[in-house]
Amino acid sequence: MVFAHRGSSASLPEHTLAAYLRAIEEGADGLECDVRLSRDGHLVCVHDRRLERTSNGRGRVSAYTLAELERLDYGSWHTGAGAGDDVPPDPDRTRLLTLDTLLGAVRDAGREIELLIETKHPTRSGSAVERRLVTLLHRYGLADPRPGDPVRTTVMSFSPLAVRQVHRLAPRLSTVLLMDLLPPVVRRGRLPYGARIAGPSVKLLNTRPGLVPALHAAGNRVYVWTVNDEDALDLALARGVDGIITDRPAMVLDRLGR
Ligand code: G3P
Ligand code: CA
């Protein structure tokens, strides 16, 4: 499985609708996005706690209402391929993306897609992010998945507590425990709180050669992030991972001969 990390984010501004539509067009099997809460409780797709890096705003995302966040530009900072004067203005490259809009776009794509949704800083906001997320997924009929559903959603977090919370709220929803170091709760490849997918960094694959076999032996799948160059891809393929999360889905699909 090839997942577009924050959309096709090497080419277009991360977390914009344009970046996700490009990834779908390129043939990615799935998409990854980060969500956090606006001051008035809306789930918005923004990676950083603060606005400065990816918008023309300042301060914490959580300090602003959705209406205030929607007034900002989330695309003009981007200098990757695809930006520039020769590109006609496209609001999909600059507008704030809400998770609601992204879910609609994924549903309208009309093909099989897995959407990985990472909740950010869940412990600071209590479990509000997870509660809002599960409520929204229920609205799309995605919190209680059935075999054959074209759109599948998987919730990811570095926080075992957030994974536990999602499992309590929606026991049939698939979850990923992300890891940049090996968390103490993961022993002999077994994951806690109903998670059946591990999300190690590519660095962790390098330092822990036995990790993927142990996770597989315990019945888990492995989605690795963020695989953006040939060396990282070679390592991920050599370890036999099940999913590759990348800013460059077209490059990875091409290498896989798809
Ligand atoms: O897909 C997991 C990966 O996105 C975690 O790191 O910082 O890019 O959210 P980050
Ligand atoms: Ca993420």
Task: Give the distance from CA 216 to its chain's centroid.
Answer: 22
In a 10 Å sphere around its CB, with 0-12 CB exposed, 13-18 middle and 19+ buried, how is residue 63 labelled?
A: middle
- ipTM exceeding 0.95, yes/no: yes
Active-site residue, selected from the candidate residues 15, 42, 47, 167: 47
**Quick one: pLDDT at residue 127?**
86
The angle that helices 128-139 and 99-108 make with each other, rounded to 10 degrees, is 30
Q: Which residue has the tokens 């704030």?
A: 96
Q: Is 225 in the pocket of ligand 1 (CB under 6 A)?
A: yes
Q: Is 114 in the pocket of ligand 1 (CB under 6 A)?
A: no
Catalogue the E-assigned strands of the chain: 2-5, 30-37, 43-44, 113-119, 151-157, 174-179, 197-200, 221-224, 243-246
Domains of the chain: 2-49+97-255 (3.20.20.190)
Q: If phi over 0 gives left and psi between -120 and 50 gives alpha, with beta otherwise, what is residue 126?
A: left
Count of Cβ atoms closer than 10 Å to residue 85 Cβ = 5
- What is the Å distance from ligand 1's center to 85 Cα? 30
| Alpha carbon nearest to ligand 1 atom 2, residue | 225
Count of Cβ atoms closer than 10 Å to residue 155 Cβ = 28
Rg (CA), the chain: 18
In a 10 Å sphere around its CB, with 0-12 CB exposed, 13-18 middle and 19+ buried, how is residue 109 labelled?
A: middle
Q: Return the structure tokens found at 60.
A: 């914490």
Active-site annotation holds for 78: no
**Quick one: pLDDT at residue 57?**
97
Q: Which atom of ligand 1 is nearest to the CA of 6?
A: 4
- Note down pLDDT in tens along the chain; length 258 residues: 999 999 999 999 999 999 999 999 999 999 999 999 999 999 999 999 999 999 999 999 999 999 999 999 999 998 754 555 566 678 999 999 999 999 999 999 999 999 999 999 756 556 899 999 999 999 999 999 999 999 999 999 999 999 999 999 999 999 999 999 999 889 999 999 999 999 999 999 999 999 999 999 999 999 999 999 999 999 999 999 999 999 999 999 999 999
The angle that helices 17-26 and 99-108 make with each other, rounded to 10 degrees, is 30
Active-site annotation holds for 5: yes
Query: Alpha helices of 78-170 — where are they, by DSSP H?
Result: 99-108, 128-139, 160-169
Q: Is 130 in the pocket of ligand 1 (CB under 6 A)?
A: no
Integer Cα distance of 152 and 131 in angstroms? 18
SS3 for 204? helix
**Quick one: pLDDT at residue 89?**
74
